[in-house]
Amino acid sequence: MTNLNKGSLVCVGTGMRMGGQLTPIARSYIESFDVVVAAIPHIFTRKWVMDVSKEYICLNSYYEDMKIDGKNRRDTYRRMADTILSEMRSGKRVCAAFYGHPGIFACISHMAIADARAEGYDAHMEPGISALDCLVADLGIDPGSYGMQSMESTQFMIYQRMIDPTTLLVLWQPGIAGELALKVLETNEEYLQVLVNKLALTYPLDHEVILYEAATDPLEKTRIDKIRLGDLPQAKLRQITTLVIPPAKTLERDQAIIDQINAITASLTKLRAAA
């Protein structure tokens, strides 16, 4: 049962390029709610949110927790979620703001909303423009043309995943690939070689891949670097870099299924003609 007389929570995204990608409803929540709790890396976006909000709580410094022995990113994210929930429990209308989409690679918002709802509070998420939306626009890629697979780089490395080489493969966060301790926000050449070795089971080493980084302000240039898969370990990667792997094989028709569909179509056509 919802606690109608207590606080509430909404999680919003500021988009990747705040000036034109902040949705009207997200802006409304940021400006009108009692407090904005945010983890926004871009300084200009952060400054704007601070200026227009009634009260602002910045979560960026929480990443320093990873320097403490025994703590990692999961602990940091949990502390961020708990800060959001604490403000909500005090009776405030809380707007939690994240860059991009608040639900894509943003476990904090999912944790906070789940906990808030479990305690009976009104909590929901508003969609935002994500790095994937920018990627599709900047690279001119339509996932509907041949399908798309999307996963985090380290997750792909350490789990047995089935990769379809006829689809687009998007690997997020290769810049921290293989970092299992969750203590640092970088990778190294050795970890990246492990990633390449696993990808080489599906793709040739000379297959062209794309290193993509969405621009975050009008003066910044979108990164679209095309390299050989085999050269990935020597490439310059950042936390925001995304690895885009175009299809390596063409789609093959499943004639048995096509025949079944054609047979059904012929049968329905006969029924309609007889009706």
Residue 68 structure tokens:
């403490």
Q: What is the pTM of this model?
A: 0.87
In the set 17, 29, 77, 203, the catalytic residue is 77
User: What is residue 2's predicted lDDT score, i.e. its pLDDT?
Assistant: 52
DSSP class of residue 222 equals P
Tell me: pLDDT of 202 over 90. Answer: yes
Asked whether 180 and 155 are in contact (CB, 8 A), the reply is: no
Q: Is 21 helix (H, G, I), strand (E, B) or coil?
A: helix
- Is CATH 1.10.3720.10 the right assignment for the domain spanning 132-245? no
Instruction: Kindly name the residue from 17, 29, 46, 99 that is annotated as catalytic.
Output: 99
- C-alpha–C-alpha distance, residues 127 and 269, integer Å: 43
Active site residue 253: no
Q: Where in the chain is the domain with CATH 3.40.1010.10?
A: 8-129
Catalytic residue among 73, 121, 191, 203: 73
Q: Which pLDDT value is given to residue 182?
A: 75
- Residue range 8-129, CATH number: 3.40.1010.10
| Catalytic site includes residue 223 | no
CATH 3.30.950.10: which residues of the chain? 132-245
Has residue 257 got a pLDDT over 70?
yes
In the residue annotation, 99 being an active-site residue is answered as: yes
Instruction: Report residue 246's pLDDT band, with 50, 70 and 90 as the boundaries.
Output: very high
- How many secondary structure helices (H) and strands (E) does the chain include? 10, 10
